[in-house]
Amino acid sequence: MIYPAQEQVGRNELADILRARIASGQLRPGDRLPSERDLSQTYGVSAVTARAAVTQLRNEGLAEAVRGRGVVVRAPVEPEPVVVEPGEWVCARNPTPAERREYQVPEGVPLLIVVHADGLQDLYPAHRYRAVFRTG
């Protein structure tokens, strides 16, 4: 509920509120996020603003849509290292729908692309891997 002295809440502020609830453990992995309707009523925002805040969390990989359950908090995953050798480089991009299925990449999570000196590429879901650069 909005109180007279309460500042107006926008999409970014609402996402910050939900992010803080996740970080504090108030919303734990597997917990359902409040519905757009509940967020709208609680914070006095439109359904569009509530949807945008939830979409922001999904795009950050903090939450995911689960069929039959709604949007839930994702469990954090400790990433495995991928060693990048001298002469190789790394970039990131969003996966195609086929890559999302093949590599089991949640919505909002990019792929890390390691480009080898010979031009070949290896793809890694960014939520499960981290690049470690080997020096000289």
pLDDT tens digits, 13-51: 999 999 999 999 999 999 999 999 999 999 999 999 999
Per the domain annotation, does 6 fall within a domain?
A: no
Asked whether residue 3 carries a pLDDT value surpassing 90, the answer given is no
Identify the pLDDT of residue 86: 93
Per the domain annotation, does 2 fall within a domain?
A: no
Separation between Cα atoms, residue 79 and residue 58, nearest integer Å:
18
Q: CA–CA distance from 23 to each of 66, 70, 118 (Å)?
A: 20, 20, 42
Identify the pLDDT of residue 4: 47
The answer to whether residues 93 and 125 belong to one domain is yes
Separation between Cα atoms, residue 13 and residue 18, nearest integer Å:
9
Domain that holds residue 31: 11-73
The answer to whether residues 49 and 90 belong to one domain is no
Q: Say if CB 71 and CB 26 are below 8 A apart.
A: no
Contacts of 34 (CB under 8 A, 6+ apart): 42
The answer to whether residues 86 and 104 belong to one domain is yes
Per-residue pLDDT tens over the stretch 54-78: 999 988 889 988 999 999 999 887 8
pTM of the model: 0.65
The answer to whether residues 97 and 121 belong to one domain is yes
Query: Bridge partners of 68?
Result: none
Q: Tell me how many domains the chain contains.
A: 2
Instruction: Tell me how crowded residue 76 is: count the other CB atoms within 10 A of its CB.
Output: 11
Separation between Cα atoms, residue 76 and residue 73, nearest integer Å:
9
Query: Bridge partners of 32?
Result: 72
The answer to whether residues 18 and 66 belong to one domain is yes
* Domain end among 43, 73, 103: 73
